[in-house]
Structure 1
Amino acid sequence: MDQRTKRASAGVIVGLMLSLFIAALDATVVSTAMPKIASALSGFGRYTWPFTSYLLTCTIATLLCGGIAARIGHKKMFVIGILVFAGASLGCALANSIEALAAMRAVQGIGGGFVESGVFITIAELFEPRERGKYMGAISSMYGLASVAGPLVGGLITDTVGWHWIFLVNLPISVAALVLVTRFLPGTSARSESRLDVRGSILASATVVPLVLAFSLTGDLFTWWSAPFFGLLVAAAVLGTLLVAIEKNREKPIVPVRLFARKQVSASFVLSFGAQFLLLAGIMFIPRFAQEVLGLSSAESAYATIPMTLALIIGSNTSGRLFGKTGRMRALSRTAFMVMGLGSLALGFVNAETSVVQIAVSSAVFGFGIGMSMPLGNIAAQTGAEPHNIGKATSMALFFRGFGGTIGTAACGAAVGASSIGSAPSVFGICIALAAICLLVMAWMPKMIERGRASWQEERTTRNGEDSVAQP
Structure 2
Amino acid sequence: MTHRADPLDSPEPMAPARSDTDPAVIRLALIAVASTLLFASLGQTIVSTAMPTMVADLGGMEHITWVITAYLMASTIGAPIAGKLSDLFGRKAVLQTGIGVFLVGAVLCGFATSMSMVIAGRLVQGAGAGTLIVTSMAVVGDLVPARQRGQAQGLMGAAFGISTVVGPLLGGFIVQHWSWHWIFFVNFPVGALAFVVLGIALPSRTDHSHKPIDYLGALLLTTLLASAVLISNMGGSVLAWSHPGVLALAALCLAALVGFIAVERRAPEPILPLSLFRNNAFLVVNSMGFLVGMAMFGTITFLPLFLQVAKGISPTQSGLFLVPMMGGLLAASIGAGRVMSKTGRYKALPVAATALLALAMLTMTQVSGETPLWRIALSMVGVGLGLGPVFSVGVAAIQNSIPRSMIGIGTASANMFRLIGGSIGTAAFGAIFGLGLARNLDGALPEGASGGIRSMSAEMIAGLPPEQQAQIIDGFSAALHPVFWIASCGGLLACAIGLMLRERPLED
Mapping of 1:312-327 within 5 angstroms? 312-327=329-344
Please give the alpha-carbon distance, in whole angstroms, between the structure 1 residues aligned to 2:241 and 2:345.
40
The corresponding residue for 1:462 is: none
The corresponding residue for 2:13 is: none
Deviations 1:374-425 (A, max 9, x none): 1122122222223322211111221111111211221222233257422332
Give aligned pairs, total.
452
The corresponding residue for 1:248 is: 265
The counterpart of 1:292, out of the listed 292, 295, 309, is 309
Please give the alpha-carbon distance, in whole angstroms, between the structure 1 residues aligned to 2:297 and 2:210.
36
How far 1:5 sits from its partner (Å)? Answer: 2.6
The corresponding residue for 1:332 is: 349
The corresponding residue for 1:257 is: 274
CA contact (8 A) 2:141 2:149 kept: yes
Please give the alpha-carbon distance, in whole angstroms, between the structure 1 residues aligned to 2:193 and 2:493.
42
Mapping of 1:163-182 within 5 angstroms? 163-182=180-199
CA contact (8 A) 1:222 1:229 kept: yes
Mapping of 1:65-104 within 5 angstroms? 65-104=82-121
Cα RMSD of the aligned pairs, angstroms, is 2.1
1:391 aligned to 2:408? yes
Q: TM-score, normalised by structure 1?
A: 0.91
Letter in 2 for 1:65: A
How far 1:230 sits from its partner (Å)? Answer: 4.0
CA contact (8 A) 1:319 1:373 kept: no
How far 1:254 sits from its partner (Å)? Answer: 0.9
Deviations 1:291-319 (A, max 9, x none): 11111011111111111111111111111
The corresponding residue for 2:292 is: 275
Deviations 1:423-468 (A, max 9, x none): 3321111111111221121123123x32325xxxxxxxxxxxxxxx
The corresponding residue for 1:428 is: 484
Please give the alpha-carbon distance, in whole angstroms, between the structure 2 residues aligned to 1:338 and 1:229.
35
The corresponding residue for 1:51 is: 68
Letter in 1 for 2:30: I
CA contact (8 A) 2:212 2:268 kept: no
CA contact (8 A) 1:71 1:192 kept: no
CA contact (8 A) 1:349 1:424 kept: no
Comparing 348-357 with 225-234, greater Cα deviation is found at 225-234
The corresponding residue for 2:444 is: none
The corresponding residue for 1:450 is: 505
Please give the alpha-carbon distance, in whole angstroms, between the structure 2 residues aligned to 1:142 and 1:189.
30
CA contact (8 A) 1:68 1:77 kept: yes
Question: What SS does the aligned partner of 1:95 have?
Answer: coil
The corresponding residue for 2:53 is: 36
CA contact (8 A) 2:99 2:191 kept: yes
CA contact (8 A) 1:71 1:191 kept: no
Please give the alpha-carbon distance, in whole angstroms, between the structure 1 residues aligned to 2:62 and 2:336.
44
CA contact (8 A) 2:324 2:380 kept: yes
How far 1:355 sits from its partner (Å)? Answer: 0.6
CA contact (8 A) 2:40 2:132 kept: yes
CA contact (8 A) 1:344 1:429 kept: yes
Please give the alpha-carbon distance, in whole angstroms, between the structure 1 residues aligned to 2:414 and 2:208.
23
Mapping of 1:293-308 within 5 angstroms? 293-308=310-325
The corresponding residue for 1:131 is: 148
Gaps of 5+ in 2: 1-16, 438-452, 454-475
Please give the alpha-carbon distance, in whole angstroms, between the structure 2 residues aligned to 1:116 and 1:158.
26
The corresponding residue for 1:190 is: 207
Mapping of 1:325-404 within 5 angstroms? 325-404=342-421
Please give the alpha-carbon distance, in whole angstroms, between the structure 1 residues aligned to 2:289 and 2:93.
26
Gaps of 5+ in 1: 454-472
How far 1:251 sits from its partner (Å)? Answer: 3.2
Please give the alpha-carbon distance, in whole angstroms, between the structure 2 residues aligned to 1:76 and 1:4.
20
Please give the alpha-carbon distance, in whole angstroms, between the structure 2 residues aligned to 1:271 and 1:413.
21
CA contact (8 A) 1:15 1:176 kept: no
CA contact (8 A) 1:268 1:381 kept: yes
Residues 373 and 191 of structure 1: is their aligned pair in 2 closer, same or farther, counting only changes over 3 Å? farther
Identity %: 29
1:440 aligned to 2:496? yes
CA contact (8 A) 2:280 2:502 kept: no
Please give the alpha-carbon distance, in whole angstroms, between the structure 1 residues aligned to 2:494 and 2:116.
40
Please give the alpha-carbon distance, in whole angstroms, between the structure 1 residues aligned to 2:254 and 2:346.
32
CA contact (8 A) 1:294 1:352 kept: yes
